[in-house]
Amino acid sequence: MRFDIGRFVDRMVAGTHLYLCGPGGFMAAVSEALAARPDIVLHREYFTAPDSGQDAGEPFTLALAQSGTELVVAAGQSILEVLQAHGIDCATSCEEGICGTCLTRVLAGEIEHRDHFLSAGERASGDRMLICVSRGKANARLVLDL
Ligand code: FES
């Protein structure tokens, strides 16, 4: 008997936390089925980051609210790399957007999420990001609570 993802998702109670781990195709299918259910909190655990085939991105400005520092993140650079290059210590682990260790509060600016950790609802809130892989949108001014 084949697993009916649609039926499984339809029967979930609002507010449920679903912890998902397994083969890439299975995880993609369940994640896709849950896209229309922002009331479900999805936690995905990957063993390695899936190949997202994303480009180097565009440059954007990074503003650090606590210090008043402004930095430029070039195409192909991560926010984490820029912060570390300026001696700013950040908690990290996987550096692939899958563990959530580098989660950082965003105060303003448009985020280009590239992680495999945040739920659709968390992304939509626009108030947090994973700085090891996610970026600001092209020419954006992204303000972090750092
Ligand atoms: S260090 Fe793991 S998500 Fe950024």
How far apart are the CA of 14 and the centre of ligand 1, in A?
28
The answer to whether 91 and 132 have CB atoms below 8 angstroms apart is: no
Listed by start position, the domains of the chain span: 5-44, 60-144
- Of 43 and 114, the structure prediction assigns the larger pLDDT to 114
pLDDT exceeds 80 at position 137: yes
Q: Is 46 in the pocket of ligand 1 (CB under 6 A)?
A: no
pLDDT exceeds 90 at position 125: yes
10: confidence class by pLDDT, cuts 50, 70, 90 = very high
Backbone angles phi, psi at 81, to 5 degrees: -60, -40
Distance of CA 54 to the CA centre of its chain: 14
Backbone angles phi, psi at 30, to 5 degrees: -70, -40
d(CA 84, CA 100): 18
Q: Is 100 in the pocket of ligand 1 (CB under 6 A)?
A: yes
Per CATH, the architecture of 60-144 is what? Roll (3.10)
Q: Is 97 in the pocket of ligand 1 (CB under 6 A)?
A: yes
Token pair listed for 28: 């993609």
The answer to whether 52 and 27 have CB atoms below 8 angstroms apart is: no
Q: What is the dihedral of CA 15, 133, 78, 102, to 10 degrees?
A: 50
Supply the pTM of this predicted model: 0.76
